[in-house]
Structure 1
């Protein structure tokens, strides 16, 4: 027993230094654990925000119901978009106009041709011919970019410009 006491007395300085190092390591570990716990608590509070004491299962069910509602609304919006997209294809999307002088004795570019086409190049060409004594306006239907009626040079030009426009 005396040998053990003598050994401890001889190594007392080393034992104290070892214990001090161990206490410092434990203090550092304690600080790290408290920081981790603080981060975990912040994440928990963020997860539980707005729960007002409800249990976690009720909160998760509420969020899943919200997700289902959003998914249903998204599907409804997709259907509405598809419906609108199909309707827009038949609307006038391309327009071209040209003004010109139909007769040499008339002073200005008062005659015109307008092409109004949808995505499929279906539509109409409206032409107004202005003369000194009378003016005439007429329309020619266009199917797939072609007319079953004879087109004037100006009408051909306005139709070609309209067909080549990007949507």
Structure 2
């Protein structure tokens, strides 16, 4: 049987009271945290503009689909630009020189304009006292079907080295 005199002792009563007080404080702490979490959850589900979370998520999903389409379009456009760039002038090489030994400065030049595949043109300007001649020669893969001067070959080599 239970001995009530042992239970009624002041240390037992104080111990039980202290234990109950600790449990009460823990319970109060949990209650406060629960109320706080409910309030935060309500704010989250409500959203900043008064919409509920479901509508916000649906809007985000729709926007995501639109963005996916735009990214796909941008990829296609980038691929088209890359294809165009292959045939655009990407490399330039220029050589200045004296075409005639009796002229004082290097007024003649050869300049090569090449694309990514070393196709393009080399243009030469020969300066003389009485006249200035300008002509161009096509270049395919770094080589021309026309005879090239040393300066024109040097201009093509410079342009091809620039692209490395």
Q: Same fold (TM over 0.5)?
A: yes
Q: State the partner residue of 2:155.
A: 158
Partner of 1:64: 61
Q: CA 1:29–1:101 in 2, change beyond 3 Å: closer, same or farther?
A: farther
Distance 1:148 1:25, change over 3 A: farther
**How far is the alpha carbon of 1:134 from its aligned partner?**
1.2
Residue 22 of structure 2 aligns with which residue? 24
Residues 51 and 59, structure 1, Cα contact 8 Å, conserved in 2? no
Structure 2: how far apart are the matches of 1:20 and 1:161? 92
Query: Structure 1: where are the runs of 5+ without partners?
Result: none
Partner of 2:104: 107
Where do residues 31-46 of structure 1 align in structure 2 (5 Å cutoff)? Answer: 31=29, 34=32, 38=36, 42=40, 45=43
Is the Cα–Cα contact under 8 Å of residues 93 and 158 in structure 2 kept in the other structure? yes
Residue 5 (structure 2) aligns with: 6
Query: Following TM superposition, where does structure 1 have runs of at least 4 consecutive aligned residues deviating by more than 6 angstroms?
Result: none
Q: CA deviation at 1:96?
A: 1.1
Aligned length: 164
TM-score by length of 2: 0.84
What RMSD over aligned residues (CA atoms) do the two structures have, in Å?
2.6
TM-score by length of 1: 0.83
